[in-house]
Amino acid sequence: MKIFSGIQPSGEIHLGNYLAVIKQWLDLQSKNDCIFCIVDWHAITVPYDPKILQQKIKEVAAIYLTAGLSPKKNIIFTQSAVKEHTELAWLLNTITPIGDLQRMTQFKEKSAKHIKNVCAGLLNYPVLMAADILLYQTEVVPVGQDQKQHVELAREIARRFNARFGDTFTLPQARIMKIGAKIMSLTEPTKKMSKSDKPETCIGLFDTPEQIKKKIASATTDSGQEIKYNPNEKPGISNLLTIHSLLSNKTIKDLENEFTGQNYQTFKQKLAELLIENLEPFRNKKSEFEKNPAIIDKILANGASRAEKIAQETMEKVRLAMGL
Ligand code: AMP
Ligand code: TRP
């Protein structure tokens, strides 16, 4: 199957990105044609610092590689290195009703958060995302829960294009994990863990053991002491159980049994140990890549030239279909 997905080089890549998305990519890479993108043009739709953007892009690339994504088997590249993404986004803008964009949940949330800086790019963000996906005739888009609506819109744009200009695009579908599609904030477990929130809400993949211990120890838990999964009544412990289950590959039922009669504190200590062990490769490899940034530049340049070939083929079809 053809797979495409991406992460924005903004903020710090966190446990939610890793558990809900990068882990899916790792499962998919051996049997599929996968493209993993660093979507820098999406990251600039909210205020950002141009001085550190390149460093952020390299950091995301280092995370992809450290997690175990193969740059030979998969195409790994930066969105802005393939200009066809903007060309297709413009063309798709002409068949996308403004109303569809205004009703997107993420647009509503982000425009409320950056109330003084709502640019047209923020509204058109899902059209650029549709272009990312459709350029590569993608069948499956592995993402977290919050991106499902955008993938559905991309499918609708593809369907509309095909109906108007003839069969051109494959209709994509989102792939979302059954558990862990939405990892919650450590301090407010009814809100999703987010890059743009305060550090104590979120575990970063490069966090030190001390930071991990402190953040998990102070994570919000619920009244009572029972280690039971119940997202409505016990959102805090349910989120921590989900994280444990994804890292340890044990079912939530098994974990509930294992921790019967134990208190939150013991469970949190065990979870912190598990996190420290699982994130160790990220901390170690980061400095390796920092010492030799040329490795990453080479991988991204190679990825961009492979991506560009596919993108150019699609654009020829699109221009022909649209009479351009
Ligand atoms: P972003 O961090 O916005 O670039 O998102 C990259 C990917 O991570 C997308 O597929 C999101 O759906 C996913 N994602 C972001 N935050 C979370 C979260 N808290 N839980 C699960 N998935 C998430
Ligand atoms: N909008 C996505 C996010 O914030 C990132 C993204 C951009 C993406 N283009 C994509 C994800 C294409 C999947 C496919 O998470």
89-103, 169-183, 277-291, 300-314, range with the lowest pLDDT: 277-291
The ranges of the chain annotated as CATH 1.10.240.10 are 206-288
Quick check: CB of 39 below 6 Å from ligand 2?
Answer: yes
Q: How far is the CA of 18 from the centre of ligand 2 (A)?
A: 14
Best probe residue, ligand 1, of 147, 176, 196, 246 (max atoms within 8 Å of C-beta): 147
Work out whether strand 75-78 and strand 140-142 pair parallel, antiparallel, or are unpaired: unpaired
Residue position matching structure tokens 């495409």:
4
Quick check: CB of 23 below 6 Å from ligand 2?
Answer: no
- Ligand 2 atom with minimal separation from the 4 CA: 14
Residue 295 pLDDT exceeds 80? yes
> Per-residue confidence at 290, pLDDT binned at 50, 70, 90?
confident
| 206-288: CATH number | 1.10.240.10
Q: How far is the CA of 245 from the centre of ligand 2 (A)?
A: 25
Has 2 been annotated as catalytic? no
The ranges of the chain annotated as CATH 3.40.50.620 are 2-181+292-322
For residue 72, what are the CA distances in angstroms to 2, 25, 168, 227, 298?
16, 15, 28, 43, 12
For residue 210, what are the CA distances in angstroms to 183, 207, 237, 275, 278?
21, 8, 21, 11, 14
The side-by-side arrangement of strands in the sheet containing 2-7 is 75-78, 33-38, 2-7, 140-142, 173-175
- 19 φ, ψ to 5°? -70, -40
Q: What gap in Å lies between CA 114 and CA 129, rounded to an integer?
A: 20
138-142, 209-213, 220-224, range with the lowest pLDDT: 220-224
pLDDT reported for residue 175: 98
pLDDT reported for residue 117: 84
Which residues, in sequence order, are bridge partners of residue 77? 37
| 2-181+292-322: CATH number | 3.40.50.620
pLDDT reported for residue 71: 97
Query: Atom 6, ligand 2: which residue's CA is nearest?
Result: 6
Terminal Cα distance for the chain, rounded: 30
Catalytic residue among 195, 213, 214, 317: 195
Residue numbers in the known binding site are 8-10, 16-17, 132, 144-146, 183, 192-196
